[in-house]
Structure 1
Amino acid sequence: MSAARAIGLVLGLAAEGAFGDPRRRSPVTAFRRIASGPAGLGVAGAAVAAGVLTERAARGRPVLQAATTAAVTWVVVGATGLVGQGTELARDLEEGLLAPARGTLSELDPRVSDGLGMVGLSRASVETLAENTSEVVVAPLLWGALAGAPGLLASRALGVLRRAAPGNWAVARLDELVHLLPTRAAAALTVVAAPVVGGSAGGAWRAWRRDTIAHPSPNAGRVEAAFAGALEIRVGGRTEYPEGVVELPVLGVGRNPDAGHVTRAVELSRVVGWLAAGTSVVLAFAAGLRRR
């Protein structure tokens, strides 16, 4: 069964790469709309329960498990869409088109983007690329490797719910718990990936270990700091959300980011996604061998 789950992850990632535009992915879009309403938590629970039932039904039937894992992976993983939107951001910033960049940023990040200039948009773009790499790529892949379809669905559902209902204390705490491992795995993969994009592995490691100590969240900022260190820039600081202004610690050292750094952040996200895919396949095999 470990082989079936690993094959399903590979097939799902191949489908996600071919049909990964988030603007055309009706399952995720529909779920986001429902999650924004009062029944959001129930819908998320139902999705995870369906994943559990599907996993049980496929037990002892490797072809069915590979097929269901592939389908769920395609639905929840957002690597291709993230790279596409990041590329749009970088291109608009390179051309000085701030209004379209603000629109694209708003699709990825809940912060208030009105009034952000070139530096602010570049900084926000790097931060959201880092955060989303962890949330929509690394986290679902790792939990999918360890828990199959329920892990894939639970990881992504919690992220959607947290953004749809930012004031829900229970959802926020559960989301933090589920992402304790993936955020650190994403930061570690960023350290490994940094030299591939001409970045600094040592800078990524130091920023991750040094600058996130002062961060108020157990997860937020880990992979952002690693991205900043890898690109040798500074992110963090004053950030405005619809519910208010937050003063976050500065992550990384060096210059303020610009459009060129956003382009490199997109490539870094891509490489981290590749590494996460390989890691998830290995974990799926290892989990199956341990159960045996």
Structure 2
Amino acid sequence: MKVILAQPRGFCAGVVRAVETVEQALEQFGAPVYVRHEIVHNQHVVQTLRNKGARFVEALDEVPENAVTIFSAHGVASDVESEARERQLRVLDATCPLVTKVHNHGRQYAVRGYQLILIGEAEHPEVIGTMGQIPAPVALVRNVAEAQALTFPEHTPMAYITQTTLSVDDTRAVVEALKQRYPQIVGPDTRDICYAVQNRQTAVRALSLCTDLVLVVGSVKSANAMTLCDIAGAHGKPSYLIANGNAIRREWFDERTTVGITAGASTPEALVDDVIAALARIGPLEIETLPGREEHVQFRLPTGLIARQ
């Protein structure tokens, strides 16, 4: 079996920053530290941090007074920030800087009087946080049909922002539908979608062209991992979203199969290694890495933490 690894794959700079925030908080302040929502959407990462002393909660009323509290990489609404201040919690904000950039764009548009459209998935924590950061009504659309169904008057000042983890192609189609419906609409270029998401989507497209089957290592909760699986499928290749090597099924393969492997932005490389090990139990492997964009982005840790030397 030939195995081809996508490049880049796995952890992005925002996830690295979020995970290191929890680890450094545990090291500096001791256990427990409290994390609102899963720090990133990967159970392996969450359980590893839980074993070290992190406690994951869905609401701040589960956090004791004055406790060290970390906001996840997905961001939170402004009323969550206010509640944390009122309860005098020691907050470390691990919101991905690229999500914060979306919040800033949205607030700027709102202040300037635009009717704001958010392209995203209603139940995703990033979308919930973003909508809660905008001091004005926000209309949420997920697809072209919903964009075409908007009923704002034709000359309404309009602007859009996007969830960072969406498919670039799908988002571009929604933006085009918005522009047809409201030619005066303004917003960031689709290139402003998270660089890591774009890079991984580009890599999985290239992977789909040279493989018979694609395995995407990641969580079903991870929007960007599910998108990678969808992109591979759209290129006519069987694609499977798997959490780890235990999800491998022998019937997916034959001895002539060329298998592509990629991983969502919240997936640690250890889980990719676990999948490779599972494939190796089926038979001998020939492994190579597809050429792709190298990422060197690094984000500073939140204020209040000292970076490792």
Is TM > 0.5 for Structure 1 vs Structure 2? Answer: no
Determine which structure has the larger helix proportion and give its number. Answer: 1
Based on CA coordinates, which of the two structures has the bigger radius of gyration?
Answer: 2
TM-score (norm 2): 0.25
